[in-house]
A and B are shown apart, each in its own frame.
Chain A
Amino acid sequence: MHRRELQEQYEKLLSNFLAGDREAQLYMAQQLSKSLVTQDIAPEDIVDFHIQALEKLVQMPEPVRESFQLLLEMMMEYGNTYRQHNVLRDKQKQLESEIDLAVVMQQTMLPQVLPEFEGVEFGLISVPAKKMSGDYYNILQENDVTFSVAIADIVGKGIPAALCMSMIKYGMDAQYGLTPATRLHHLNIVVEQNIDPSMFVTMLLGNYDTARHSFRYAVAGHEPGFFYRACEQRFYDLEGRGLVLGVLRDAQYPEYELNLEVGDMIVLMTDGVSERKVGMHYLNRQELTNLIQGELAHTAQEIAENLYRRLLLMTNYELPDDHTMIVIRRTK
């Protein structure tokens, strides 16, 4: 709307108001002010509307007329602040769309499709707490019978963690065919040289041989996963010692091996899964395995998804940290 029209609208409003239709006109004024805000009309403009409308409608004593000059001046800085707010609002939109682009970029670093192997099923879920994730994961076919699994948690969240994640990804791309311990050893050197001292990365790397159904892995300070023995119907902690990545250049990583029978299952996760506050207390590992136990009849993918939903429900739909879970089950 043009300034003149707005001016006329205000004048009509004031005239009706002064004629006695008080509350109705105040209600109209409220609606008008909402519309003016969307048209970027500043506070000092309103004062100006008021002065001009008054001059037409009533005889103003000179001091009253003069006093509006003062009010107008007082409003100037509010107007400036208002304009600044509008600029910041636009800037925020721009930042958000930039982050959205980065999120798309980040998605390309994560596997788009999982490999398929006879006798093994996968479940995978990864949900960032903010827009960008500090969790990295990969399941990659190494050869006809072997796939590698990686899960990592970059300590910290959001953009800094996401930037660090690209380093992990590129570092790993150059490690085709190596053992988990060697890969962690190399990655640790890369991370140690490139990461800010306040940051570090925890990680679990493993190779799964689908011919023998053996899983060899090494751990760098990562949240222990679970190993489910179907014949015992029991969950064990996925053991493994090793220093977090990025702290000590010469860190060595021992390797561990598990042999899976039919129905056995490996559950890997980041601490966003396990460190969940339910009411006043943190969920313990026993409670977590009880939850998984309740989902065992489902496919690996359903286990991962259902657990995510159940935890979300229990924690009042709050996701304080990036949540990533990988389920690997031997099916035959």
Chain B
Amino acid sequence: MWYLCVFYHRLLDYRKPEVESLAELFGVFDDYPTDQQHSLEWKLPQYHHPDSPFHFVNLPSEDIARSIANRSILVKGLYELWGEGNSYEELEESIKGYPEERKLPYLNSDSTFRISMDTFGKVMSFTEQNERIRGLSYIPFKGRVNLKNPEHNFWIMETDDYGSNNGLPPVVKKRIFFGREVGAADRKLLPTYELKSRNYLGPTAMDAEVAFLMANQAKATHGKLVYDPFVGTGSILIAAAHYGAMTMGADIDIRVVRDGRGPDCNVWSNFKQYGLPMPISLLRADNNLPPWRPGLFEMFDAIICDPPYGVRAGGRKSGGRKLLKGIVGPYIVPEEKRTNHIPSTGAYSLVECVHDLLDLAAKMLVMDGRLVYFYPVVREDDSSSPSFPEHPCFKLIASCEQILSFRYSRVLLTMVKIKPYTEDIAESARLKHMDFKENHLKWLEEGNLHSAVFSPADSNSSAGDDGKCGKELKPKYRGKYV
């Protein structure tokens, strides 16, 4: 059945993939052959731009629609559409034409209901809202009104021919929808988990909303094991734990995972703060040299992480600067100093880091398991679509861009494991690992994002076109910024 799906007008790229991931989690695609692309059917209302918050989605049942809406972060609501039109006259006609047997069960005398008004792209006074709600008197509501806790919620939603002041291309005609709410997102979650009230924070702690989106992309749920190889203060795992998943994390910095800022301000205390089960384990390990036993495969149901891309925080791996350059051999640590010795670390290029992450995920994820991680992209003037890392074991199913600055954005990649890890793949990964070691410096320079993001703007590139900066020619389309 088709439902009207209304989104919050933010993180536009993330909206549909979230619904699709949740649909998969709630079993919509269970009967589909596994080798096919799983996706839902979507439609747009007439004249609407793909970035519009109004969409139609085909879902097998109301129960599934409710489950998806209740767990999602970006779905404002899923509605059974009773009518729509470009004017209130058209709306009335449309509602009257909707089958009686679909309407009557929700209108009977022993039920309670509420009608609310929502607008997109315009503000409406209370009087105007009331007028429109009263205008629905042609619908035979028999139940009692209950504004606090009604059984049935009805919504009138109105978009306006608002011009271009909300960042979207103008809609040609205004559209009015009337529907019964099937489910809505629980955004109360976000103030509960917001970073400003969290005890232990690091410089790159993941924002709660995005962390929940990542957990949804990873299909984190009860009984699943989720791993974060760059755990830091645990901000991503907290979202996974909220959905009942077992969590595990590693970090190369022992101060972050072991000590935190004291006995009541560390990764454990962050989980305790929200009454969540503690991670199964936190360990100090190098993603470049993972400590897993040789026979260990297909352990995790999902890996979610925000790898260090060297812009706000750089990655580290084992080996000092001179050691990695090959100027000096490994030092022999004197016996009496071994216990508290802190091994040196060197810079870890993003390319190598992603290589290690893909190899780890290919080996340690169960079949059909998901790897969800952020990947930075330098924003170029031409809008050619960027290319993302590929791996023979994985299929990329979603890429959601979030613009961070004029120069770069980050893209949340969701990859699904479609092929088992083989010896051939392990061998080529090992050779690549050796190449990274041997050509440490080369990789560090080629993969350096910091300079691309922070270096002064190149004045030569825009001088050519009569002093007009090439960037000003770009249409002022703000869709992706919301």
Question: Do A and B share a complex?
Answer: no
Q: Could you list which residues of chain A lie within 8 angstroms of chain B, going by C-beta atoms? A: none
Q: Could you list which residues of chain B lie within 8 angstroms of chain A, going by C-beta atoms? A: none
